[in-house]
């Protein structure tokens, strides 16, 4: 009876946590989580996310589309077989990035179940890493699904924004800023506490590539 009970407990642990449960979950000897490759592997095994190499020269790291527009491989910092994360032309806050399915799909309801799960798992991982990287304390994750919701690019995407206390005078004004950035218009007045230029001009390709290269180190596989 005791043997059967132990086997049942072991099986339950395997189902709930996966094989990574017995491998230290990517922690150093002192118990602190590891960064870089170790954390990427541990998080992927435990959470079902399978990152692949997002380096510009890696196999498959080309041909990304965001609606009708091409996304340069140098602007992508994390990806799976179904989803990719890339830097923003006009970020609302430092670390404001986008996560999209690789397949160009205009509306959320048109995604396959596997794409939904993979995209949100990647957004979760990106949010966790960027919140720590930017010394933030919270996250805003939002989807604009359809033109009347403020969507201007016909390709499902999640906005991931690291947040700090006082970054906006009125918290809900961040959504106005996202709308303004998505439309390529002037930044909302609420962005002023961040000391951003009032018009928040689009960044250069070089600036975006530099940010992506820095973030890519957080997702090395």
Q: Which residues are catalytic?
A: 157
Residue pair 156/99 in contact (Cβ under 8 Å)? The answer is: no
Among 171, 145, 174, 176, CA closest to 160: 174
Give dist(CA 98, CA 178) in Å, integer. 12
Pairing relationship of beta strands 138-143 and 76-79 according to DSSP bridges: unpaired
Lookup result for tokens 């969507």: 151
DSSP string, 153-198: SSS--EEEEEE-TTSSSSTTHHHHHHHHHHTT-PPPGGGGGGT--T
Distance between CA atoms of residues 203 and 34, nearest Å:
32
What CA–CA distance (Å, rounded) separates 22 from 182?
Answer: 44
Secondary structure of residue 33 in the 3-state scheme? strand
CA 149 to chain centre: 21
């Amino acid at each position: 009876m005791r043997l059967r009970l132990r086997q049942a407990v072991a099986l339950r642990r395997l189902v709930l946590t996966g094989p990574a449960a017995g491998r230290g979950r990517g922690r150093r000897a002192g118990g602190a989580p590891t960064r870089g490759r170790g954390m990427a592997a541990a998080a992927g095994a435990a959470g079902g996310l399978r990152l692949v190499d997002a380096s510009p020269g890696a196999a498959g790291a080309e041909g990304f589309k965001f609606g009708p527009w091409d996304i340069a491989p140098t602007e992508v910092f994390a990806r799976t077989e179904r989803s990719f994360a890339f830097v923003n032309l006009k970020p609302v806050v430092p670390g404001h990035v986008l996560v999209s399915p690789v397949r160009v799909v205009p509306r959320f309801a048109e995604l396959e179940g596997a794409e939904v799960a993979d995209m949100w798992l990647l957004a979760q991982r990106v949010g966790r890493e960027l919140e720590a990287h930017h010394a933030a304390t919270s996250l805003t994750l939002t989807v604009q699904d359809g033109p009347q919701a403020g969507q201007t690019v016909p390709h499902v995407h999640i906005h991931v924004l690291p947040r700090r206390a006082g970054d906006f005078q009125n918290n809900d004004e961040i959504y106005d800023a996202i709308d303004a950035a998505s439309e390529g218009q002037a930044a909302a007045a609420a962005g002023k506490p961040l000391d951003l230029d009032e018009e928040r001009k689009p960044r250069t390709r070089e600036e975006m590539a530099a940010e992506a290269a820095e973030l890519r180190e957080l997702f090395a596989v």
